[in-house]
């Protein structure tokens, strides 16, 4: 089977640089959050889950490390932001954004792909580099990253950037938003890992070596966006 180029070298570097940087940002953020861990899922007096449960704090050695967490967060934020912004600029300039930004069929395709993944439907819709579900997921995670930078800036400098903090609903609200964006990243990560495991070796190797030996389904059916 012929090898196809799947991920450019730049994409692979952005991806694997982002992995440890995002990990460091989330971990150091959790060191900070511990000092005022007020968010939960629940209503009124009822709490379903408190973030984070004490056993998890202890297990991850989070308590009493606020100063350390802040120092790491406010240093690595630069690297995280630069890698992310250069990635977005690369997508824009190279034209590769076309693979990632959802088109008008993406929502329907995403539903069909999800049904397929849950073994409720046999066929996959025709697709390009990414299917509708992937497009929505990979665009969402970029927006979540940008949102994290914006809400982060609003709680980092609520006086100097008071217009931004105000726009986000005030300081406590911006902190809440920053937290739930982080939770959304964790949600993305969980699904991403499962899907990567399901997709198998060829797909994983393509994010390291760049090429794929498995022809995407497009051979028989050109993707809709390209036909349109």
**Which residues are at the interface with other proteins (CB under 8 A)?**
3, 12, 16, 20, 32-33, 35-36, 38, 66-68, 70-72, 74-75, 78, 157-162, 165-166, 170-172, 175, 205, 208-211, 213
Q: Which is nearer to other proteins, 117 or 202 (CB)?
A: 202
Q: Which is nearer to other proteins, 60 or 143 (CB)?
A: 60
- Shortest distance (Å) from residue 110 CB to other proteins: 30
- Shortest distance (Å) from residue 160 CB to other proteins: 5
Single out the residue of 223, 198, 201 nearest to residue 129, CA to CA: 223
Single out the residue of 133, 101, 103, 129 nearest to residue 116, CA to CA: 133
- How does 109-136 read in b/e, with b if 16+ C-beta sit within 10 Å? bbebbeebeeeeeeeebbbbbbbbbbbb
- Shortest distance (Å) from residue 73 CB to other proteins: 10
- Shortest distance (Å) from residue 185 CB to other proteins: 19
d(CA 204, CA 214): 12
CA 159 to chain centre: 29
Q: Which is nearer to other proteins, 35 or 184 (CB)?
A: 35
Q: Which residues pair with 50 in a beta bridge?
A: 40
Q: Which is nearer to other proteins, 89 or 208 (CB)?
A: 208
d(CA 12, CA 138): 14
């Amino acid at each position: 089977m012929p090898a196809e180029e799947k991920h450019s070298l730049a994409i692979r570097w952005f991806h694997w640089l982002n992995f440890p940087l995002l990990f460091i940002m989330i971990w150091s953020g959790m060191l900070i959050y511990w000092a005022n861990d007020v968010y939960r899922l629940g209503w009124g007096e009822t709490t379903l889950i408190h973030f984070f449960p004490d056993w998890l704090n202890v297990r991850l050695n989070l308590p009493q490390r606020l100063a350390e967490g802040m120092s790491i967060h406010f240093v690595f934020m630069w690297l995280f932001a630069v890698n992310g912004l250069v990635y977005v600029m690369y997508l824009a300039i190279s034209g590769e954004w076309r693979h990632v930004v959802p088109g008008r069929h993406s929502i329907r395709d995403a539903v069909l792909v999800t049904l397929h993944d849950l073994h409720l439907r046999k066929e996959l819709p025709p697709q390009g580099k990414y299917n509708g579900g992937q497009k929505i997921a990979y665009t969402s995670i970029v927006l979540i990253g940008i949102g994290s930078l914006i809400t982060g800036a609003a709680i980092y400098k609520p006086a100097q950037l008071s217009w931004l903090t105000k726009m986000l609903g005030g300081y406590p609200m911006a902190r809440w938003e920053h937290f739930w964006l982080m939770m959304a990243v964790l949600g993305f990560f969980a699904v991403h890992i499962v899907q990567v495991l399901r997709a198998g070796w060829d797909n994983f190797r393509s994010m390291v070596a760049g090429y794929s030996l498995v022809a995407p389904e497009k051979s028989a059916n050109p993707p809709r966006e390209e036909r349109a």
